[in-house]
Amino acid sequence: MTTRMLGEKVQRVEDDRLLRGQGRYVDDLAQGALEVAVLRSPHAHARIVEIDVDPVLDVDGVVAVWTYDDLTGPMAEPLPLLIPHPALTHGRTQHALAKDEVNHVGEAIAFVVAEDRYVAEDAVSRIRVTYEPLPAVVGVEAARSAEHLVHEDVPGNVAARLEQATGDADAAIAAAPHRLSLDLEVERSASTPLEGRGTVARWDPDAGRLTVWSSTQTSTGVRAAVATKLGLDLGQVDVITPDVGGGFGVKIVHPWPEEVLVPMAAMALGRPVKFTEDRREHFVSSAHERGQLQHVDVGFDDEGRLLGMSVQLWHDHGAYIPYGLIVPIITSTQALGPYKPEAYKVVFESLYTNTVIVTPYRGAGRPQGVFLMERTMDAIAAYLGRDRAEVRAANFIQPDEFPYDQRMTFQDGRPLVYDSGDYPQLLDKLKALVGWDDFESVRQEARREGRRVGIGLACYVEGTGVGPYEGAHINVETTGKVKVAIGLTSQGQGHRTAFAQIVADELGVPFEDVEVTSGDTRRMGYAVGTFASRAAVMSGSAVALAARQVKAKALRIAADALEAAEEDLEIVDGHVQVRGAPASRLALGTVAVLSNPLRYAFDEASKLATQFTVGNPDKPPVEEDDEPGLEGRDFYSPERSTFAAGMHAVVVETDPDTAEVKILRYAVVHDCGTLVNPMIVEGQIHGGVAQGVGGALYERMAYDESGQLLNASFMDFLMPYVTEVPERIEVDHLETPSPLNPLGIKGAGEAGVIPSAALFASAIEDAEGIPIRRMPISPSELYDLRRKAAENAGSVENAGSVESARSEPVETKESR
């Protein structure tokens, strides 16, 4: 029997090559290509008075330079607003090179192409730009006050205002026995993959074809954008995504200015051109996320059940809004998590600031939504003096309530309907895994040793696998090798392994015979991209459907050849055989030969398929409604998203003197439906947790009031190293399959990072007895909170003492 691959911890086929340094990332390609350096704005907000590029042309090795005035046709138009929305009344996007005005430090102004990067950078430093600085709008408060405007024609700096409601939240809150209000804040962070953005383009004038290699999360998107901008037919442009050194959201944005400027330059110059973003450029000219101010009003009963909840969000989307309202819509809707408030209202304003654009970073607005909901849950528990897990459980959607309609519109424009899940069981598993009910004894023991510990938990639901569709093409070669092409791209998720596992199972072939190609528009021209935890759900389903087509065709052909009934046949280990009679079997490669009637024999195998060997002389060699080849091609397009869920718990120790936060235990329970490869899923969870630790305790974008990013390096933007991440992450799985797709898969890629800000706030609050309302939190900020709490309590001396921590549930003084 062929071993079942689905659900197995299969080692990744990608690994060996990457380990030996044989990975091929964009900057590893096209050695000897012309290289690019970009002049970027040093001002957050300024009018461009004059640009003098003349001194550049004297530099030896400089080939060409472009500014906005050199752009023509569609290239001179603003870059596309990728995701329009009726509420996005004031959408503004940047030009490939700044036109008249710059709106953030790092905005591209001039594009220099030279023999190598050293020369290109020398040349950039010679460009003279005269600026007329304008007041910079930095931070949500400055944007809201609208004392200055980012774009003259956008009143109030407001790009969009969107309200969604179910029930009458205000009335429900007013009538509720208990009420609380919270003001919350989440600061900016960013994806910061270790490989920045990069694009290589080669124009073949003989064939009239453009080939673009880009470090992107969507090769089909880049292809469409490049063709549109350069006035080429789609059929003239191929986009290939080679190995990608991490994406985490930032590389779904397209086209970046350089992504269209590089192909433009390659066509104009007739030579391959390469752009490789450097680290500082990545900080100031790609994208950030997370920054929001939030206000919550909530009314609840004695058990902590949410009777009414009203949320206001102010979302900082930076200087432009190419990715539309996706992030604040996700915050608004996914804040609901596993809960069912009787009435819910959310309104957000998406605001311009003179800072780097904001587009989805792993989690894409969910971390902020989970933060506001879970902070609310903890505040309710503290107010009522109830257990935090108990308050959450009182609000859970129950297993028999699925499909559960949250009566909201999700990020894909479709109803927010949860397909399946079991939240009470997840919570039980988490409590057992982390020892929730026994924690008081742990706390007491630590206290006796003079140590201060706390435990936190956070729950989330993640809408994964958004549409519109993904496809797969599978071709069985006459060697028996199975070639699979999917359209979406890979950035380290092990797609070549996971999808080969699915094909091996569906088709009954050895895993080793399956080879998966991703993100190459020459192989699959219709695709959307890798984001929103959608690859396994979307492409995994498409791969399964396409494999089923191949199997059906193989059985039909083999039935004829073996003179057996189709229903008596099975495919085992790459051979079609009569069930239970493996003696008479036909290799799938032979079936592939038979599927393609030939005039010419080019090897021994193909002699089997030539015209004097096979076929009924009374019928056409390829019958009506049939095609030559043993192939399958299918698409999966779901009605709506499938909803994964998870719950995390963390035990922290806070240093009584330095206020440093140490992670003692980290536990995850996770439900992403059917597991394709548990090793890959756990890797994704580990990675998400590592980024979450960064986002909760270390990472932020430190802008000064003039819009300069003060920490635009890995020295100053504190990403976790191995020293900051727990050495062990305890993981338990629950599998409630999705009814929406053939394998029951739900997405898993983003999950690990989603609850972190809420989780650490919960644990630190528990350890310290001080309300935490703003994340991330540094030791100095925690120290400061302690000092203020002690001042408020009228006793500075007790600020650092263990005894003062967590004596009573915290009164947040927010009840009316």
Partner 1 sequence: MPTVSFRVDGVDHTLDVDVRTTVLDLLRERLGNTAPKKGCDHGQCGSCTVLLDGRRHLTCLALAVSYDGAEVVTAAGLGEGHADGLHPVADAFLRNDAFQCGYCTPGQVCSAVGMLDELREGHPSHVTEDLDAEVDPDDDELRERMSGNLCRCGAYVGILAAVRECVASGGEA
**Interaction site with partner 1 (CB under 8 A):** 11-12, 14-16, 18-25, 27-28, 31, 116, 118, 191-195, 243-246, 248, 276, 278-279, 491-494, 679, 682-684, 686-691, 713-715, 719-723, 725-729, 752
Q: φ, ψ for residue 601 (rounded to 5)?
A: -95, 130
Q: Which is nearer to partner 1, 307 or 696 (CB)?
A: 696
Nearest to 363 by CA among 25, 665, 753, 30: 753
What is the closest distance, in whole angstroms, from the C-beta atom of residue 682 to partner 1 in the complex?
A: 8
What is the closest distance, in whole angstroms, from the C-beta atom of residue 192 to partner 1 in the complex?
A: 6
Q: Which is nearer to partner 1, 203 or 283 (CB)?
A: 283
Give the helix, strand, coil percentages of the chain, each rounded to 5: 30, 25, 40
The DSSP secondary-structure symbol of 394 reads H
Nearest to 114 by CA among 21, 36, 212, 18: 36
What is the closest distance, in whole angstroms, from the C-beta atom of residue 434 to partner 1 in the complex?
A: 17
Give the Cα separation of 260 and 252 in Å (integer). Answer: 15
Nearest to 12 by CA among 566, 497, 633, 491: 497
The DSSP secondary-structure symbol of 614 reads S
Q: Residue 93: is it exposed, middle or buried by C-beta count within 10 angstroms (0-12/13-18/19+)? A: middle
Q: φ, ψ for residue 90 (rounded to 5)?
A: -130, 60
What is the closest distance, in whole angstroms, from the C-beta atom of residue 748 to partner 1 in the complex?
A: 13
Written as one string, the DSSP assignment of 248-316 is TTGGGS---HHHHHHHHHHHHHTS-EEEE--HHHHHHHS-BB--EEEEEEEEE-TT--EEEEEEEEEEE
What is the closest distance, in whole angstroms, from the C-beta atom of residue 683 to partner 1 in the complex?
A: 5
Q: Which is nearer to partner 1, 198 or 589 (CB)?
A: 198
What is the closest distance, in whole angstroms, from the C-beta atom of residue 7 to partner 1 in the complex?
A: 16
Q: Which is nearer to partner 1, 408 or 757 (CB)?
A: 757
What is the closest distance, in whole angstroms, from the C-beta atom of residue 150 to partner 1 in the complex?
A: 30
Helices (H) and strands (E) in the chain, counts: 19, 29
Written as one string, the DSSP assignment of 36-93 is EEEEE-SSSSEEEEEEE-HHHHTSTTEEEEE-GGG--GGGGSPPP-SS--TTBTT---
Q: Which is nearer to partner 1, 207 or 715 (CB)?
A: 715
Q: Which is nearer to partner 1, 11 or 611 (CB)?
A: 11
What is the closest distance, in whole angstroms, from the C-beta atom of residue 11 to partner 1 in the complex?
A: 7
Give the Cα separation of 336 and 155 in Å (integer). Answer: 31
Nearest to 635 by CA among 553, 711, 543: 543
Q: Which is nearer to partner 1, 33 or 434 (CB)?
A: 33
Q: Do residues 695 and 776 touch, judged by C-beta distance below 8 A? A: yes
Q: Residue 325: is it exposed, middle or buried by C-beta count within 10 angstroms (0-12/13-18/19+)? A: buried
What is the closest distance, in whole angstroms, from the C-beta atom of residue 499 to partner 1 in the complex?
A: 16
Q: Which is nearer to partner 1, 180 or 273 (CB)?
A: 273
Give the Cα separation of 22 and 51 in Å (integer). Answer: 42
What is the closest distance, in whole angstroms, from the C-beta atom of residue 116 to partner 1 in the complex?
A: 7
Q: Nearest 5°: CA angle at 661, between 660 and 667?
A: 170
Nearest to 675 by CA among 230, 10, 105, 149: 10
Q: Do residues 183 and 773 touch, judged by C-beta distance below 8 A? A: yes
The DSSP secondary-structure symbol of 359 reads -
Q: Which is nearer to partner 1, 408 or 754 (CB)?
A: 754
Q: 388-395 and 366-384 are packed helices; what angle lies between their axes, rounded to 10 degrees? A: 110
Q: Which is nearer to partner 1, 216 or 595 (CB)?
A: 216
Q: Which is nearer to partner 1, 20 or 448 (CB)?
A: 20
Q: Which is nearer to partner 1, 242 or 463 (CB)?
A: 242
What is the closest distance, in whole angstroms, from the C-beta atom of residue 723 to partner 1 in the complex?
A: 5
What is the closest distance, in whole angstroms, from the C-beta atom of residue 200 to partner 1 in the complex?
A: 13
